[in-house]
Structure 1
Amino acid sequence: MSNPYLLGADLSYVNELEDCGGKFYKDLQPRDPFTLFSDEGSKIVRLRLWHSPDWTTYGTLADVKKSIRRAKGNEMAILLDFHYSDNWADPAHQIIPAAWSGITDTNVLGDSLYNYTYSVLEELYSENLSPEYVQVGNEINSEILMEKPTAENGPTNWERNAALLKRGLQAVKDFNEAKGLNIQRMLHVAQPDEAKEWFASAAKQNLSDFEWIGLSYYPNWSEFDLEQLSQTISFLKNTYQKEVMVVETGYPYTFRNFDGANNVLGEGSDLTGYPASKEGQMSFMIDLTSSVIKGGGRGVIYWEAAWISTPCKTQWGTGSHWENAAFFDAANGNEALPVFDFFSHNYQIIDN
């Protein structure tokens, strides 16, 4: 019996990596990564979308379309991650796209966000590429659509922040009604440590018309262990009556660096009981998923599981900053690692 949970991977980098010559292997045979993930039990693919990046040709709508076709061709659902930025959006960087820079009127800016969200969904729909899930923002711990990094702007203006997020959510709702679809909407916050306070602030602004809470959980940046993560998921689910999913996580299978790009998960990013080894990575993912399920969560998505080392350049180096935490063994010709088993593990099915 197939488990009912949404287990998958963010595969946003794959097109770029393949264009740089990257190849993926299972049992020494080259494999299409989207097909491999599907065959191994992945049910969902997360894809990031930047507005108008001027530093890369990837992460654009054209690139996302290509990935959606590949994922849907392998019968995997899509979680479309609107960054609402021209570059990486995270808790400290929610930088407004250049196209909207200088718009100070919240209503006008909200209209821009609404129209952009709706038009993207319209274009995808016209090509039979509609996502099943949509993130309205990425790691939106701080105020969205800011001119400068958060540290330079002070505390969140929640009245403005909620008004803008509501416009993004409304765009998806209106699109659903117009097309007879049921695209699920998600708000995504980094780390369970901050989630209770964030969603409490959101509730005070009546920011409640969405279906999913998404969390990032990287243990080296969190004070919470797996049990506390589970408890937080249970609290969020029961308090706000939302489904909950971990949409970003990662764990190293080695601390070795295989290229000129420094590793994000370096020495000290492992946990007691889960060594930075092939087995440790697999055990962590299985136990993490079990903890999410115990708390009533419905899924786990691994961040950039296919970000292998290639001659591709990033903004910070040449290669991959994640090859030591990917699902492929950089020391063994990018052979698939045991961590793939987390997709097909026989988890206890809990009716929450």
Structure 2
Amino acid sequence: MKKIIILSSALWLCLGLSCTKEATQKQVTPTKTKSVLSATSLATTTTFAYGSDVSWVTQMEASNYKFYNSSGTQQDLFTILKGLGITSIRLRVWVNPSAGWNNITDVVAKAKRAAAAGMNILIDFHYSDTWADPGDQTKPAAWTSYSTSTLISTVYSYTYSALNTLKSNGITPTWVQVGNETSDGMLWQDGRASVSATNFQNFASMVLNGYNAVKAVFPSAKVIVHVANGFNNTTTRWIFDGLKTYGAKWDVCGFSIYPTTSNWSTIDSECLTNMNDMVSRYGKQVMICEAGMDVTAPTTCNAFLTDLIAKVKSVSGGNGLGLFYWEPEAYNSWQGYSMGAFDATGKPTVAMNAFAH
């Protein structure tokens, strides 16, 4: 989400602390079950996703932010991104946000622009009225009185309704995330995975209902379960082992990666190891759903992205689907975010050159 904290392995045990993006979660020893599916059998002909999450674009435009190409010519953001090699757009969905941004109406408007630019679309359901991440999975206000069983069924009905709205507006997403950075489940406390086996079962049932709703509306869309810190194999195995044990379904293991300027090479290598393990262990494809680095280090960010894109492409069996930069268009510390990839004049930095292909 908006704030990024990269933590050492020792801090991964601090689930009880307040967390934001790239936050901690409880470690549980995973089972050792191997998937019977072969990695090669999963390979897809889908074009690699050179992606950006630009969910802030309409809000920024409403605040009179403008965007410029590398030559300094003002253009629509989607036009600029397409010229940089971006082929796919990720958009978050909030249930009933107080200011309206990221509700389904706003998402439809942005998705139409992405589709008009010829881009594939990833829809990212937060199942909240605001940011959902490893430290915050707050129920929508309208859902707070629901029983656990009603919450689980509402995941289906809400997902189905929102996707039908997109469909009626001519939008067909290529991928759909059921939850955002669900490293400890979602819709807390009912679906908080670390609380108990019952809560983990609730989370798995929520994921399954989201999966079924996606397939009911868009049978060909790939369903993503997205977790933070895609370099941490222990915690990644914990969440996906649990989902498998309790009967959830998903197609893609999605990750966030936010390294520092000094540790990105190590993080990238650990991420590749983790991605290959997901393919082997669960028979799933993988994707970097969020990536970012300090805007003041664009050359280093370019190196980080170039390397990580190559590593995603090298995943066994061709099962690395793509990489999305998170809110590259955010400049001048928009909303306090400092990991965009546009400079203070509203032009893309050299970091975005990593998406050329």
Coarse TM-score class (shorter-chain normalised): 0.7 to 0.9
Q: How many residues align?
A: 302
| 2: CA distance, partners of 1:214 / 1:138 | 9
Could you state the TM-score of these two structures normalised by the residue count of structure 1? 0.80
Q: State how far apart, in whole Å, the 2-side matches of 1:4 and 1:283 are.
A: 22
The question of whether the paired residues in 1 share the 8 Å contact of 2:177 and 2:226 is answered with: yes
- Taking only aligned residues, the RMSD between alpha carbons, in angstroms, comes to 2.3
Residue 338 of structure 1: aligned partner: 350
Give how far 1:142 is off: 1.2
**Could you tell me how far apart the structure 1 residues matched to 2:116 and 2:288 are?**
24
1:231-264 deviation digits (Å, cap 9, x = unpaired): 100010121111100001101231xxxxxxxxxx
Runs of 5+ unmatched residues, structure 1: 255-275, 311-318, 346-352
TM-superposed deviation, 1:215: 0.5
Q: Letter of the aligned partner of 2:154 in structure 1? A: S
Q: Specify the SS of the correspondent of 1:307.
A: coil
Deviations 1:197-234 (A, max 9, x none): 21111111122x22111111112499962111101000
2:254 paired with 1:214: yes
Does the residue aligned with 1:280 lie in a helix, a strand or coil?
Answer: helix
Structure 2 residue 266 is the aligned partner of structure 1 residue 231: no
Offset at residue 292 of structure 1 (A): 2.1
8 Å CA contact retained: 1:92, 1:150: no
Letter in 2 for 1:326: G
Matched, 1:321 2:341: no
Rounded Cα–Cα distance in structure 1 between residues aligned with 2:185 and 2:275: 23
1:247 partner SS: strand
Q: Does 1:292 align with 2:304?
A: no
Answer whether contact 2:332 2:343 (CA < 8 A) is retained. no
Aligned-partner Cα distance in 2 for 1:279–1:143: 35
Is the 1:213–1:242 contact (alpha carbons within 8 Å) kept by the matching residues of 2? yes
- Give % identity: 31
In the alignment, residue 116 of structure 1 is paired with which amino acid? Y
Structure 2 partner of 1:302: 325
Larger mean CA deviation between 221-230 and 280-289 belongs to: 221-230
Q: Displacement, 1:335? A: 2.1
* 5+ residue gaps, structure 2: 1-45
Q: 2:237 aligns with which of 175, 182, 196?
A: 196
TM-score by length of 2: 0.79
> Which residue identity is paired with 1:186?
I
Cross-structure match for 2:289 = 247
* Structure 1 segment 48-87 matched on structure 2, within 5 A: 48-54=92-98, 56-87=99-130
Does residue 279 (structure 1) correspond to residue 299 (structure 2)? The answer is yes
**Distance (whole Å) between structure 2 residues aligned to residue 252 and residue 295 of structure 1:** 26
Q: Is the 8 A contact 2:224 2:250 kept in 1?
A: yes
Distance in 1 (alpha carbons) for counterparts of 2:167 and 2:295: 39
Task: After TM superposition, give the deviation of residue 327 of structure 1 in Å.
Answer: 2.1
1:184 maps onto 2:222 in alignment: yes
